[in-house]
Structure 1
């Protein structure tokens, strides 16, 4: 009796047990993984190592430490800023400031610079590397400003890069510092930091610029350029990062870091923000 009913009982049990089971779909060939696509030009590249909330916290701390960061190149107007930034290629800000203090005292407009002449400009900036070629560019850009822009510094990147000796980085600095536009001028400090801490990895300055513009919160973008430069210049140094002085040591994902404890988050005195500010 039981022997005859056993197959029926097992069948019923099997049917009951299968009520809540989802049948698997037929096996399919795996789809190729999608590459991380940048928003600019459709190129691919490594992602930032940080979540959105972590990037927000990084720049919040920078904003507490340096509420109003300033560039260290001395200038008195947009024209002298263009000249100073153009002269700063392969030179230190301190070295440029030393040369331009006297130069800008006698020539702070394109017209005055042309009147001064290339030879005298050379004499003022001879302590700066590549000073002969830079003097030619200063005169040439002064001529172009007068001829094409009425002696005024243009307010677009496309126009700025037409000036002799002015590239994308210089144009971005001028747009940010002279005209208050949120741009990202990638210098050696920013390029190093973006890759070292894996905030915005990239193989070229243009790649790093595009990546930083993507990941930095919009409300921090205006000062982000100076925060990153100053952090790279005084804390996350090229030869040996001073992690014990870093306010983002706990968030940092650099394989080079030597400390996980962040430095006290306090506002730095003005003299630590801008050497140039003291002399103005």
Structure 2
């Protein structure tokens, strides 16, 4: 995808959704961190259902530790990998209190030193809470970036690096949210909704779902 096409892509995303936000529900940086940890291999909808009651009972690291691993497990047992996630949530709560006075640090290395927090989770927190121009590459963004020609890469690290180079700076702060939402609701894995895609004419995919059959004079 050309630089001009990329700029036009994000201009359209911005016009359609000027202030994109995460769909995870939270009331503090700590709660967002926990929600993102829980969202691995789970849907935001499923995480929100679980965390509404979890955060009502344990809104802070201190309260989460008091609730304990068994208590956290009971709240999140509808989410994939819930036992390991419960263990990580309690452990990261201990370390936040021990190392950071209970506050979520605005530093990637400090975040990834916490149990259950990888680079993607750290990037979400840094972007959403601290408004740093990071790019958290999940399955949606990885698929979309490769499919459209926006930023090809064989792994998430390569796609992240390519996106940071290719996305114009004026759009970089919100690009993460635009791409996730587009990949989640339009450029889906099995059957992308090309007929209602804002950037269909800019996309380089040869497998658009609304194209005429190959060999047709109208096929492009």
Q: Using structure 2 for the length normalisation, give the TM-score.
A: 0.94
Where does structure 1 lack aligned partners over 5 or more consecutive residues? 1-49, 261-280
Which residue of 1 is the match for residue 163 of structure 2? 212
More helix by share: 2
Higher-Rg structure is: 1
Which residue of 2 is the match for residue 161 of structure 1? 112
Alignment partner for residue 77 of structure 2, among 123, 126, 131?
126
The 3-state SS of whatever aligns with 1:165 is coil
Q: Does 1:53 align with 2:4?
A: yes
Which residue of 2 is the match for residue 182 of structure 1? 133
Partners of 1:198 and 1:53 in 2: CA distance: 13
Which residue of 1 is the match for residue 63 of structure 2? 112
8 Å CA contact 2:191, 2:209 repeated in 1:
no
The 3-state SS of whatever aligns with 1:117 is helix
Partners of 1:98 and 1:144 in 2: CA distance: 26
Alignment partner for residue 238 of structure 1, among 159, 171, 189?
189
Partners of 2:146 and 2:197 in 1: CA distance: 17
The 3-state SS of whatever aligns with 2:203 is coil
Partners of 1:258 and 1:236 in 2: CA distance: 10
8 Å CA contact 1:73, 1:84 repeated in 2:
yes
Moved over 3 A (4+): none
Where does structure 2 lack aligned partners over 5 or more consecutive residues? 212-220
Alignment RMSD: 0.9
Q: Using structure 1 for the length normalisation, give the TM-score.
A: 0.74
